[in-house]
Amino acid sequence: MPRDPVRILQVTDPHLYAEADGSLRGTITADSLKVVVDHIGQQKWPADFVATTGDIVQDDSAGAYARFKDLMTPIGLPVHCIPGNHDVPALMHAALSDDPWHYCKAFIVGDWQIIGIDSCLDGNAGGKVSEEELSRLRQTLANTNAPYAAVFLHHPPLEMGSRWLDSVGLHNAQEFMEVITTVGNVRTVIFGHVHQAFDEMHESIRIIGTPSTCAQFKPHEDKFQLDDTPPAYRRISLGPDGSIDTELIWLDVAE
């Protein structure tokens, strides 16, 4: 019998506040995340887990993480989270480390090794994968029994073609990419941070970025500029043959 793919919902960069009416650049972020969660519930797409790739909160509060848990619980799936530059690792780890919440976890599902990597750099909007995290990544990839691997992190490992956004990307991207290309079993790297869609091949690795559940950034701009595209989330299917299928779902917060 053919094996099922690993199905993942990527929900990223919600930028929540402790207060329900907290707004980021004109978007009430709790409301826009709720639209996403409601759509996921209505569609009943058969996912195995949710991947949340950073910037869960905007106001540095434990209350915002509690709001995230309240909003995401109706999905009824494990939620695997990694921190973004707006997150507070100590608060996030305390809130999101007990089932069904997971923090920077590495695990195998089906034919795939999944690895959540912390790319945050204290006090900097840009990122860096620490030597400790690079070592964990190398060891996990070298020792896994799964034939394929997918790596999740917050910061983009490739340039976005946007001068301001590339200045706050992954500062040691070359080193990170050398690790994942050397081992040979990584098929995809999936990230957040950029508030826009991205999908390119780097050698044999598919590099995928996903828009935010709130406001988006206009692509290919030298200076920061908001786009008029709506909130979004992504469906990802990782096949038992190493293939990757993905679909972006754009939503109107007025729905």
Q: State pLDDT tens for residues 70-123.
A: 999 999 999 999 999 999 999 999 999 999 999 999 999 999 999 999 999 999
* pLDDT averaged over every residue in the chain: 96
User: Would strands 186-191 and 148-152 be described as parallel, antiparallel, or unpaired?
Assistant: parallel
What pLDDT score was predicted for residue 254?
Answer: 53
Query: What integer is the mean pLDDT of 133-154?
Result: 97
Nearest in space to 207 (alpha carbons), one of 216, 217, 198: 198
What's the N-to-C CA distance of the chain in angstroms? 40
Nearest in space to 170 (alpha carbons), one of 141, 128, 132: 128
255 — pLDDT class (breaks 50, 70, 90): very low
Angle formed by the axes of helices 173-183 and 131-143, to 10°? 10
Q: State pLDDT tens for residues 30-70.
A: 999 999 999 999 999 999 999 999 999 999 999 999 999 99
Query: What integer is the mean pLDDT of 178-188?
Result: 94
**Cα–Cα distance measured from residue 166 to residue 46, given in angstroms and rounded to the nearest whole number:** 35
Angle formed by the axes of helices 62-72 and 29-43, to 10°? 20
Q: Give 137's contacts (C-beta < 8 A, 6+ positions apart).
A: 115, 117, 129, 151, 179, 180
DSSP state of 30: H
- Helix locations, 7-61, DSSP H: 29-43
The first and second tokens of residue 74, run together, are 């109706």
What pTM was computed for the model?
A: 0.96
**Cα–Cα distance measured from residue 27 to residue 9, given in angstroms and rounded to the nearest whole number:** 22
